[in-house]
Amino acid sequence: QVQLVESGGGVVQPGRSLRLSCAASGFTFNNYAMYWVRQTPGKGLEWVAVITYDESVKYYADSVKGRFTVSRDNSKNTLYLQLNSLRTEDTAVYYCARDRDRYQYGYPCDHWGQGTLVTVSS
């Protein structure tokens, strides 16, 4: 079955960096666009970034553009999110998720990981 397992979260000071990973299994990883979505108690669900199956397209939310970088290693079935210049408002649970349509992007996410908590605090 499809499994997505995030890791890399933790407590970090403002201005520092963190790298999240998402290990995928149970499907052909290099056929699907992948997303990062975050959730905070105050702002609910917020889409963060998307990367197409072949890395040809990457989009970011304005709130993270220029600070976060999404990437993938199809040989390792792993999705990444590099978080730089972290701010307190980046505190959230970060989920990786899979597009429901093969080879497409911009569609709903039909499988989600369990999330990893990032806390930005001094």
Partner 1 sequence: EIVMTQSPVTLSVSPGERATLSCRASQSVGSNLAWYQQKPGQAPRLLIYYTSTRTTGSPARFSGSRSGTDFTFTISSLQSEDFAVYYCQQYNEWPLTFGGGTKVEIK
Residue selected from 1, 41, 56, 62 as contacting partner 1 according to rule CB under 8 A = 62
Q: Residue 19's beta-bridge partner residues? A: 82
Stretch that binds partner 1, among 11-19, 24-32, 75-83, 93-101 (CB under 8 A): 93-101
What order of strands is seen across the sheet that includes strand 18-25?
A: 3-7, 18-25, 78-83, 68-73
Binding to partner 1 by residue 89, rule CB under 8 A? Answer: no
Phi-psi region of 37 (alpha: psi -120 to 50; beta: other; left: phi over 0): beta
Least Å distance, CB 39 to partner 1, is: 8
DSSP assignment letter at 24 = E
Binding to partner 1 by residue 45, rule CB under 8 A? Answer: yes
Least Å distance, CB 104 to partner 1, is: 11
Least Å distance, CB 35 to partner 1, is: 8
Closest residue by Cα to residue 29 from 3, 47, 68? 3
Binding to partner 1 by residue 115, rule CB under 8 A? Answer: yes
- Dist. CA 122–CA 106, nearest whole Å: 36
Least Å distance, CB 109 to partner 1, is: 6
- Dist. CA 96–CA 102, nearest whole Å: 16
Stretch that binds partner 1, among 10-18, 24-32, 46-54, 80-88 (CB under 8 A): 46-54
